[in-house]
Amino acid sequence: MMELERLTSLRMNQSKLKVGKYNSLRQYNNDRQNQGANIGNKVVLPSSYVGSRRYMDQLYFDGMTICSHVWFPDLFITFTCKIQNWPEIQRLRNPTNLKAHDRPNIISSV
């Protein structure tokens, strides 16, 4: 429901958002001679909307800016493990008889 409300407010307030530079989208939408003009209204999602294309672009640009100031990373390390065998996780989940994947907050903190 919250995401639906956010999307609805973004759709209703397109004129208030700083999307004036996207006139070509608006012009395409208003031009009824184009094929596909009946597909609906175009809604521009800002970079503050999590998951939108502009959000992902903003994350990328932020990462590249950090790398230009600090330096590019030499290593990117990931690891996997059997989380049900960790004693810290077992100690916190055993009193409630839950599985490890039922408590992602414990897993992420460990």
In the block, residue with structure tokens 């590019």: 72
In the prediction, which pLDDT does 72 show?
78
Residue 83's Cα: distance from chain center in Å? 26
Which residues of the chain fall below pLDDT 50?
none
In the prediction, which pLDDT does 92 show?
79
In the prediction, which pLDDT does 61 show?
92
